Amino acid sequence: MTGKRDKYTDNQHSILYGETGGICPLCTQPILFTKPGSKPVKGYEVAHIYPLNATPAQVKILAGYPVPADINALENVIALCPSCHTKYDKDFQLAELIMLQKIKEGFLNEAQAKLTVSKYALQEEVYDILDAIATYEVDRDDLSGLNFDLATVDEKLKHGMSPLQKREIKTHAVDYYVRIRDHIKRLEQQDQYAVRVLQSQIKTYYLAMQQHHPDNKDLVFNYVAKWIGVKTNKSLLASKILTSFFVQNCEVFDVGSN
């Protein structure tokens, strides 16, 4: 049976181009060419990840590999530069198909997380905390106020988080936990509910991300941090530090519970 190639609409092209960030996901070359004084020229093709009409050689390679429900669906196509597209189809290999599926899955996850940014509210106290974080000078010789146990972070992050991500969170916790905790205490004295509302907002977003990615705590952590950064237009690093604080502060992140 021969599959029919779909003609993708302008809006679908916008999605496919947009998710790449403007570069071919395989060779990183730009896929839209702009010249001063002329209109941008499209430099990509819509490639089927799982082949639309597999050649006999491809059929052999694909034996036993699951066929997507809809080969023409956006989930099975990706924008590639013409030379990567030709190479992918010609030297078709299962390892490359799996890699492209992974890249595409990353694009879809990223898009889905971005679309949720506006849906979830954040208390304005978060601006104040992020600004404060951005001004702290870390003094590693004076960690005298450090009265929490980093082992609890390990315990909480036992499953589904990479050693690198754990290290980042622990480093932030060591350097900033006490300062942020004290700052939040001061905010609580002004308005005892504001910080609790903020905590529950962050928890809600955390749970929403975890619902989509129950086995990937790295992704969940980074989506929460990115959400705070994009939403507030503040430093992503300060947002990561704040997110790490909430991981240490177990009321928000109960990350070891599954």
C-beta of residue 127 within 8 angstroms of C-beta of residue 194 = no
Instruction: Identify whether the C-beta of residue 88 lies closer than 8 Å to the C-beta of residue 47.
Output: yes
Among residues 84 and 100, whose Cβ is nearest to Zn ion? 84
> To the nearest whole angstrom, how small is the minimum distance from the Cβ of residue 128 to Zn ion?
45
Secondary structure of residue 81 in the 3-state scheme: coil
The answer to whether the CB of 209 falls within 8 A of the CB of 112 is: no
Q: Count residues contacting Zn ion (CB under 5 A)?
A: 5
In one-letter notation, the amino acid at residue 70 is D
Candidate residues 26, 157, 198, 247; the one interacting with Zn ion per rule CB under 5 A: 26
Q: Cβ of residue 78: shortest distance to Zn ion, in angstroms?
A: 11
Q: How far is the CB of 87 from Zn ion (least distance, A)?
A: 8
Footprint of Zn ion on residues 80-109 (CB under 5 A)? 81, 84
| 3-class secondary structure, 80 | strand
Least distance (Å) from Zn ion to the CB of residue 28? Answer: 7
Of the candidate spans 6-14, 21-29, 154-162, 186-194, the one that interacts with Zn ion by CB under 5 A turns out to be: 21-29
Q: Which of 16, 19, 24, 177 binds Zn ion (CB under 5 A)?
A: 24
DSSP 250: T
Q: How many alpha carbons fall within 13 Å on the CB side of residue 154? A: 4
Residues 239 and 133: their CA atoms lie apart, in Å, by 9
Binding window for Zn ion (CB under 5 A); candidates: 26-34, 55-63, 127-135, 237-245: 26-34
Contact footprint for Zn ion (CB under 5 A): 24, 26-27, 81, 84
